[in-house]
Structure 1
Amino acid sequence: MAILQEKVGLTNEDLKKIRSMRPSRPIDLQLTTATTTKRVRTEFVGMDGTRCMIFRYPDEGKWGPLGDGIFKDKEIIARYILEDDTGEIIAFKVSIILVTTKPSHLIFTSFPLFIQSHDLRAEPRANTRIATRLLDAQSDAVICDSVVLDISVNGCRMSIKKGSVIKPKLRQAVKMYFAASKDKYSFLEGTIMNSKSDEVCLYYGVKFETPAEEVNKLLRDIMLVTG
């Protein structure tokens, strides 16, 4: 990702992406000194509303001395992968407000004034809120109801409430039923490839086995693509 262009202004979508950042997840910091530019990896700690962001001070045993690139009023660039939500990497520039050593070695920075984002997926996905019923592909037994959060011709990401009695398993072959219209149901076949969770939901990534032409037809039927 290129160095950020200077622009100001966060959209609601930008704020949503920033607020999707999760504590304890890895974050890359780009530091500049008089002689070099260095990228180091550390941990995102959290944020205080829109007042400041907090990062763990990088391990100098791993990255070497960093004091000439991390100090009050110094600007740094942060990069964070939103893999749990959108499959994007976001980058933003912030200014260091404070560096603490006790009780923890932390970096407090300003809140971003803008962000840059880049999709990590090989193909674009449409953001959705489509209800679907999940069935086992072998037995046709109902597994649970779910909500598709994003979808492309190759796969989708869906969420299931943690209260569901039955949950899909990794590498399980499934069928996903969609109500394409009031009197027509369509389904896609796929395989559960990965899973993640938060306090409320379980999230599953599905790789479609249905041919791309049939997936595109379904997406047209449910008005996610045109043509």
Structure 2
Amino acid sequence: MLKTEVAGSKAHLNKIVAGSLIDVEILMPATSKRVKTEFVGLLEGQFIVLNHPNPKRLGAALDYIKEGAQVIVRALLEQSGGQIIAFKAHIKSVTVHPARLIFIHFPESVQLIKLRNHTRIPTLIPATFCIPNYNTLGVIKDISLKGLQLHVQEPHVPEDLKETLCSIKLTGKDEEHITLQGQVCSIKQESVTTHLGIKLLCEQSKIENVLKDYLIDLSVIELTEVV
């Protein structure tokens, strides 16, 4: 479950770090398009500045990045205990010189969404599962502040893995090598894939850094109407 707080104060916007990745949803008449871009900064009470996403990733949504269009912005706040900030606003203007930037109006209100410890967020993060004398490549299919689900493309894994201490190795921002310590708590074999449920034993701040680096797919975070 997610815990949501509608915050009357916009001071929380100052917690979004310049240069950090954010999730932008461009609202269109019949659908919407979600892309990742960078948060540039803000002028208190006037506007927020975002880097213009790569046009090749926008498709038909490119025509809707214009004055008056509505967007939803979501960002994971650093050192916030897994809080996501989300708000809805209209585009104020778009510039092409000296840089392609999107200016959006300051929102009327924002929402703070707290990821509970067991909230599972879907991902597709390549990772290596490691125990003494054995390692295999896999994909982290979902992650929470307390655990993750790792799928490995092997029909058979070493016996008696349950309760075994392990390491999950992945590459973060700027090619930084990250190691998460954990313990295997469940094993499910399905055709040529083995699903490993892993309880994370490392510091929560380290897990939050993974969430931030990969800007975990926030499509599970729905923004209710804000006025």
TM-score of the pair, normalised by structure 1 = 0.48
Query: Going by fraction, where is helix more abundant, 1 or 2?
Result: 2
Bigger CA radius of gyration: 1
TM-score of the pair, normalised by structure 2 = 0.48
